[in-house]
Amino acid sequence: QVQLQESGPRLVKPSETLSLTCTVSGGSVSSSSFHWNWIRQPPGKGLEWIGNIFYTGSTNYNPSLKGRVTISVDTSKKQFSLKLTSVTAADTAVYYCARGGYSYGHYWYFDLWGRGTLVTVS
């Protein structure tokens, strides 16, 4: 079955760039039926959507992070990636990659998640 796995450095210094990759196994990122998302959760807090990408390369970002976020996709490697620049302690969080699926033509939701990876900015 399809699985998602996050990878990347667990510790990032303030002002540097956080980089994570999500590898999709058992499936493909090259489908118009899905989009590929990054979501984060600071310790003890709620979930925050960061952004997403379609296999075409089209992206949407959370306005609160826009300017610092870039999401890209590599269909040949079945991966999509997150870069977050100029990080501070407020960016410390568990970062999840998640697949967006839809029903009834346009009701989107997150139906498959990676296990998450804690990234600490310090």
Partner 1 sequence: DIQMTQFPSSLSASVGDRVTITCRASQSISTFLNWYQQKPGKAPNLLIYAATSLQSGVPSRFSGSGSGTDFTLTITSLQPEDFATYSCQQSYSTSYSFGQGTKLEIK
Catalog residues that contact partner 1 under the rule CB under 8 A.
37, 45-49, 52, 60-64, 96, 98, 103-104, 107-111, 113-116
From the CB of 9, what's the least distance to partner 1, in Å?
Answer: 20
From the CB of 102, what's the least distance to partner 1, in Å?
Answer: 8
Instruction: Please measure the distance between the N-terminal and C-terminal CA atoms of the chain and give it in whole angstroms.
Output: 36
Measure the CA–CA gap between 63 and 67, rounded to whole angstroms.
8
Please identify, using beta-carbon distances, which residue of 76 and 105 lies nearer to partner 1: 105
Please identify, using beta-carbon distances, which residue of 13 and 45 lies nearer to partner 1: 45
From the CB of 48, what's the least distance to partner 1, in Å?
Answer: 7
Identify which of 1, 7, 15 has the alpha carbon closest to the alpha carbon of residue 97: 7
From the CB of 51, what's the least distance to partner 1, in Å?
Answer: 9
Please identify, using beta-carbon distances, which residue of 74 and 111 lies nearer to partner 1: 111
Please identify, using beta-carbon distances, which residue of 8 and 116 lies nearer to partner 1: 116
How many Å separate Cα 90 from the centre of its chain? 17
